Chains A and B, each alone.
Chain A
Amino acid sequence: MSRRSFYPLPYLLTTSGPGLAWIALFVVLGVYSLFAISLGTPDPILLTPTPAWSPLDWSFANFRDVISGLNPSGGIFWEVFRRSFVYIVLAAAGCVLIGYPVAYYVAMYAKRSKALLLVLLILPFLVSYMLRMLAWVGLLSPDGYVNEALSRLHLVSQPQDWLGGRPSTVVLALIYGWVPYFILPLYAALERLDRRYLEASADLGAGRVRTFIFTTLPLSVPGILAGLVLIALPMFGDYYTNQLVSGAATTSMIGNTINTYIASTQQRAIGAALASTLLIFLIAVLAYYVRTTARAARAVVR
């Protein structure tokens, strides 16, 4: 039987009214402004962006520019988009390779040390992202500890310019920045995993490796996906990590391009259209993810 409590509408409005108004004013209207600029036509003389608030004034010219810019043969955005995609995929893979064993160990094996390990896993969240990047800027500088250690070990003959625009540095910085965000949700998923499945698998004669490959790993796929979503979304909007550890145009990502276009008054509408396209793309990916995981969950229940 449905057990709903009786609340008068004024009560609901009193508690949620301000929050709802805030969301309407800043989230809904904010995103609408983004699209209004994207769909607007620039002022013919000043070339400043003019928002198209009414659907009647919508022009898709900026979106057409973005789409043709994403053309693999000669589009102006193609190279930076491809590069961002490669960096993000590599960084995400790195996060899985480093984060999975850590989450797996803490969830499955840690006993007395578990509380301590969890605190240590949470500590990076207390240190601001920028400070963590600043730390690497110090370590990787020509006279920093990394070069010193490498030359002591005779791995390099002279100090390397790690911060001079190396893609590997950018990918490693992304991994370093985001791996803590990947570990925690995955740990939570592994922690909830029903141990009886693993015991059943071992009982059926599977060794530890086989139990892991055929039981633990498939069961932890939802946790891995949740962690990947959590880190991939912000990486698509990241323009500061590569600026700090490289700063070169050859390692710039889609976020930097959007940034540049928004900063220039005359091309702001193109920047807005790029940001809108990114938003639509990510929401489509996310909707697909939500739908498939919901379907998978239903299948398990059945």
Chain B
Amino acid sequence: MTQASATGRAHAIRLRLRRRPKVLTLFVWGYIVWSLAPALIAIAFSFNSGKSRSIWQGLSLRWWTDGPGSMLHNDVFRGALEHSFTLAVLNVLIAVPLGIGLAITLSRWFGRGSGAVSLLATMTLVVPELVLAISLFLLFTQLLDIVELGTMAQVIGQVTFTLPFVVVITRGRMSSISTDLEEAAMDLGCSPLQALRLVLVPLLQPAIVASVVIAFALSIDDFVVTQYLSSDASTQTVPMLIYNTARGSATPALNATATVLVVVTALLVALGGLLYYALSRRQRLGAAE
């Protein structure tokens, strides 16, 4: 076979493999509509002028800002939103530094015992959330009585299951940072901790951004741990509120409250995505060539 016909044949094969089956295209777009439309409809219902969450009665801001039953004027809805965001911010502030510290050690320590610690640090990823929630609930009620159920216990619970996500993200980035860079920093006069602050932390910025976004989103979305470790109505988050009232006679103000969460999360993810992209572009590791 000649060179030309060989490449021609290879090209034909590639074309044959690339030809898009129309049925599959339809299926995929169908899936996308199915996966997103219900949520969009639920969001739309927050602007319903009627009391129903299933029959459309016209457009209004009645459940958002106007009127006594609106999300803005109802302490239960506002309280749930505030508590959701409080927990999310605390979760980010604790889980991100703890997880990054762990990841740095786990990716720079190869001695005996490192395998076991690594397993322990990521184990909660495969423990069903219900089991983790019950464990912490029993720990706080039976042994560590200084931790009272409520905000403190909820933050501890969320940080515990967020940690391995931060560890996994940061380790991914660490594996692309050569140990030469830290050695170079020490060679040029940095103590190990200065090397951490001046070289490693700046290079980990993309991983930090990603961790912040993930930690925030996990906290906002969490239900099981947060519910198990809650105390009274003042520690109710939006997902708990939905769970407790969705089947009852809740008004579209519930949809409005949930929409706020979606919008804030989406904005944060978009912002984080842009920042991540800009940072990793700026600090390409390695030569241009």
In A181-210, which residues have CB < 8 Å from any B CB? 195, 198-199, 202-203, 208
Chain A residues with Cβ below 8 Å from B31 are 98, 102
User: Which chain B residue shows the least CB distance to A6?
Assistant: B183
In A78-95, which residues have CB < 8 Å from any B CB? none
Is A7 touching B32 in the complex (CB atoms < 8 A)? no
Chain B residues with Cβ below 8 Å from A15 are 101-102, 104-105, 196
The digit string for A208-246, where 1 denotes a CB below 8 A from any CB of B, is 100100000000000000000100011011111001100
With A and B bound together, what is the CA distance between A278 and B129 in angstroms?
A: 12
Chain A residues with Cβ below 8 Å from B36 are 120, 123-124
Ordered nearest first, which 6 A-B pairs have the shortest CB separation? A237-B128, A237-B130, A16-B105, A19-B102, A135-B42, A30-B135
Q: Which residue among B55, B132, B134 has the maximum number of chain A CB atoms within 10 Å of its CB? A: B134
Beyond A135-B41, A163-B247, A236-B128: 19 further Cβ-contacts under 8 Å?
A7-B192, A23-B120, A27-B124, A30-B135, A30-B139, A33-B142, A108-B17, A128-B262, A130-B242, A130-B246, A134-B255, A135-B42, A141-B54, A234-B128, A237-B128, A244-B247, A247-B247, A268-B138, A279-B128
The digit string for B135-158, where 1 denotes a CB below 8 A from any CB of A, is 111110011100000000000100
With A and B bound together, what is the CA distance between A37 and B131 in angstroms?
A: 13
Name the distance in Å between A19's Cβ and chain B's nearest Cβ: 3
Is B117 touching A20 in the complex (CB atoms < 8 A)? yes
User: Which chain A residue shows the least CB distance to B27?
Assistant: A101
Chain B residues with Cβ below 8 Å from A176 are 34-35, 38
B45 at the interface (CB under 8 A from A): yes
Is A137 touching B246 in the complex (CB atoms < 8 A)? yes
Q: Which residue among A37, A127, A244, A258 has the maximum number of chain B CB atoms within 10 Å of its CB? A: A127
In B75-124, which residues have CB < 8 Å from any A CB? 97-99, 101-102, 104-106, 108-110, 117, 120-121, 123-124
In B15-55, which residues have CB < 8 Å from any A CB? 16-21, 24-25, 27-28, 31-32, 34-36, 38-39, 41-42, 45, 52-55
Is B121 touching A19 in the complex (CB atoms < 8 A)? yes
Is B108 touching A12 in the complex (CB atoms < 8 A)? yes
B160 at the interface (CB under 8 A from A): yes
Grouping DSSP codes into helix (H, G, I), strand (E, B) and loop, the B interface class, with mixed when no group exceeds half, is helix
Contact of A11 among B25, B193, B224, B269 (CB under 8 A): B193
Whether A145 contacts B128 in the complex (CB less than 8 A), given A3-B179, A244-B246, comes out as no
Name the distance in Å between B218's Cβ and chain A's nearest Cβ: 10
Name the distance in Å between B220's Cβ and chain A's nearest Cβ: 6
A47 at the interface (CB under 8 A from B): no
Chain A residues with Cβ below 8 Å from B124 are 27
Return 23 A-B CB contacts under 8 Å, by A number: A5-B183, A16-B102, A16-B104, A19-B167, A20-B102, A20-B121, A22-B98, A30-B139, A37-B142, A102-B28, A130-B221, A132-B39, A133-B242, A135-B39, A138-B45, A138-B53, A141-B53, A176-B34, A208-B16, A240-B243, A275-B131, A275-B134, A276-B131
With A and B bound together, what is the CA distance between A288 and B113 in angstroms?
A: 23
- Which A residues fall within an 8 A CB radius of B? 3-5, 7-8, 11-12, 14-20, 22-23, 26-31, 33-34, 36-37, 49, 51, 53, 98, 101-102, 104-106, 108-109, 117, 120-121, 123-139, 141, 143-145, 163, 176, 179-180, 195, 198-199, 202-203, 208, 211, 229, 233-234, 236-240, 243-244, 247, 255, 258-259, 262, 268, 271-272, 275-276, 278-279, 282-283, 286
Contact of A143 among B38, B52, B238 (CB under 8 A): B52
Name the distance in Å between B203's Cβ and chain A's nearest Cβ: 14
User: Which chain A residue shows the least CB distance to B18?
Assistant: A109
User: Which chain B residue shows the least CB distance to A31?
Assistant: B135
User: Which chain B residue shows the least CB distance to A128?
Assistant: B221
B65 at the interface (CB under 8 A from A): no
Whether A211 contacts B17 in the complex (CB less than 8 A), given A124-B36, A132-B38, A133-B246, comes out as yes
In B162-177, which residues have CB < 8 Å from any A CB? 163, 167
